[in-house]
Amino acid sequence: MQNSATKKIIAAIAVLVVVVGGFFAFTGSKHSSSSTDSSSSSKKMSLKELNIQFVPSSQADTILAKAKPLESLLSKQLGIPVHVSISTDYNTVIEAMGSKKVDMGFLPPDGYVTAHKQYGAKVILQSTRLGMKDDNTGATTDKLVNSYKSMVLVKADSPIKSINDLKGKKIAVQGATSSAGYIYPTVELYKKGVNVVKDSTLVQVKGHDQGVMSVLNGDTDAAFIFDDARNVVKKDQPDVFKNTRVLYYTKGIPNDTITLRKDISSSDSDKIKAAIVAVSKTDEGKKVFNDVYSWAGVTDSKDSNFDEIRNYDQTMNKIK
């Protein structure tokens, strides 16, 4: 009888141990799983994919081929699909960002200012480049800079000897939001008494390389290009520096931007910024940025860096 009672007590204790042990095992497992999920989700992007658009500084199909490797490089960093495309001009990128069709744009400074004003776009990075020597050779210095110049290019044997001679001439320009290809030279020449909008014929071309070629081919008398876009065509036109000369250099223009649309969260913005910085330090990333836009790297940026651009825009609005 005692032996039977003892067995019942032992059995009851065993059941209790199993139940209690199971409870703690369950709650412990649940806590562990919850902790793991939380840790994992903290690393995830809210964006399901990242759509990037470039503006062609040279032929669009060439730029796209050079920019495509950025898809896999950034996707590896962010853990989401990345898609790269090329727009027709700056305004197309800006409108696509405003309608949320594009998440990130590689915009020139004036394009950024417009995107910020119209749609609240936010700059996260600016490019750095090697400085250019002003000796008509296209050679670079060994110093990284965060600004560049625009220049007015003419043929070496052109009768155009001063900016006043641009009156009545045909000038190749980029779109109206291009700092180097339109705004800076137009504003600075205006301040010096030459209104190219009124007194010259402006011919819009797509890509600074096309501006160079228009001068070489005699289609235009001059071109507004970034310093020094002749390097883009040097491979196919080895005598481009011999056959052209710089008529005028503008003041420094803030370097190009990497800009995000307004609605991207701060968390995602930080992840994207960190990913781009990481990619820019790899050999593959350096090659992409150099091949596409002649960038040497990227650096931090902020909106106030572009106040000078806004000043030029105000003057530009007065030119008719």
Q: What is the value of pTM for the model shown?
A: 0.74
Amino acid type, 114: T
CB 106 within 8 A of CB 94: no
- C-alpha span between 170 and 221 (Å, rounded): 5
Q: Find, among 225, 205, 181, 203, the residue nearest to 316 by Cα.
A: 181
pLDDT reading at 234 higher than 50 = yes
Whether cis (ω within 30° of 0) applies to the bond prior to 228 is yes
Confidence of residue 95 (pLDDT cuts 50, 70, 90): very high
- The pLDDT of 290-319, averaged and rounded, is 92
The pLDDT tens digits for 265-302 are: 999 999 999 999 999 999 999 999 988 888 899 999 99
Q: What token pair was written down for 107?
A: 């915009």
- The pLDDT of 183-201, averaged and rounded, is 97
Q: Find, among 131, 166, 169, the residue nearest to 148 by Cα.
A: 131
The pLDDT tens digits for 144-187 are: 998 999 999 999 999 999 999 999 999 999 988 888 999 999 99
Confidence of residue 24 (pLDDT cuts 50, 70, 90): very low
Confidence of residue 57 (pLDDT cuts 50, 70, 90): low
